Amino acid sequence: MATRHDAYGPVIAMRPGAGEPAVTLERVKFAARGDTEGSIDEETLRDLLFEHPQALPIAQIDTSYDGLLPVCRELSTPAGFVDALYVNRLGNLTLAEFKLWRNPQARREVIGQILDYAKDLASWDYEDLQREVSRALKRPGNVLWELVANADSTVGEAAFVDNVTRHLRRGEFLMLIVGDGIREGAANIVEFVQRHSGLQFNLALVEAAIWRDGADRLIVQPRVLARTEIVRRHVAGPTSVAASQGEADDDPLSTQEEENLRFWSAVLGGFSFSDATVEAPKPRHDSRIDVLDAGAKGLWFSAYLQRRDAEMGCYLARYNNTPPAQRMFDEIEGSIGEMRCEFGDDLTSWRNPKGNPRIGFRHGARFLKGGDDFDSAVEWMRERLDRLVSTLRPRLRKMSQDLS
């Protein structure tokens, strides 16, 4: 968990060289509607930061959610109405609740609301989200994508829908609680949510301090008070132990490990499978990455770099002690000739040095020995890995169902 404890100083307005006295701006108070003249209530704060999302300190929380586009206010879920929904061109969703934190009842309620909203969204598919967005905006069609496409015409509809679908399925959202000095117990609240929610969303508490100048303009100074740590676990392989990015490795990376990480980062940056039900692996500093969900037990996909022969590739592999997996693998291997019409002429099978069978693609990788084909190698790997996994996995899933 990351917390910050620095307090705001006064905001001073001055015009250098003008000979005018400096002016201390007035801090705008937060209050329930109608309580205090000149104050701001929850709804006004929501509208202000919905219309001006750049005022939210997203880059300080998680850069993958940066570039917010406001979608709708009052998004309906089974648990209630989310104050504001945002999205970015990558399909990352941000939900915000705006609260007067001085109210003890609000402190208790907002935590339950956040958890309930996250659980509801994690059970939705894209059509559920689109239906509620259209209802909130009173607009038909794929409104969510249209909002993004209007802001960035390079975003493709299919890729965007796939990304949003994937984030919903994984329960990956950024949840913001924005309010008026959320200091008391902020760290404890975030820690409680991180320990007990069982969900994958990120949570941040944001204090929005607002000042008013002599021209009645508002100056917003947001501050991140606390946020959940972003911890993603990767499985390195069928026989390895899960590793966490949250656990720091004190040993510096070797030159080869740095090259591995650079390559996998280039391959997997912004990458998604055509089969949107498959989660893309995360970049690693190992020479191999794995996609463990092959659609059938006892099978998995891997991609690798091999320096001895300056080779790279991706393949389907199987466990040796799982008869159903062995039968499916043998059937696939026996039909490689026919499958080349769909997969390409370079689909092949081979045995690794230990004699374990592989089905997939192999290619030279001169950059592993100082060559200049890094960019073309990245493109080759992205295309072949997607082709292998997205085309073969549905077939394996059906074969597994037929055997059960």
Rounded to whole angstroms, what are the CA distances from 153 to 142, 157, 163?
Answer: 15, 10, 17
| Mean pLDDT estimate for the chain | 81
What percentage of the chain exceeds 90 in pLDDT? 38
Q: What percent of the chain has pLDDT over 70?
A: 79
Indicate if the pLDDT at residue 38 is higher than 60.
no
For Cα atoms 148, 154, 158, give the angle at the middle one, nearest 5 degrees: 70
pLDDT tens for 134-188 read 999 999 989 999 999 888 877 788 889 988 998 898 888 899 988 775 555 555 6
| Mean pLDDT, residues 79-87 | 94
Quick one: average pLDDT of 50-56? Answer: 90
Domain ranges of the chain: 2-227, 233-403
Backbone angles phi, psi at 333, to 5 degrees: -65, -35
* Range 2-227 classified under CATH 4.10.640.10: no
Instruction: Report pLDDT for 18.
Output: 65
Asked whether residue 235 carries a pLDDT value surpassing 50, the answer given is no
Tokens of 91: 């399909």
User: How does pLDDT run across 10-22, given as a tens digit for each residue?
Assistant: 677 666 766 677 7
Segment 307-320, tens digit of pLDDT: 989 999 999 998 77
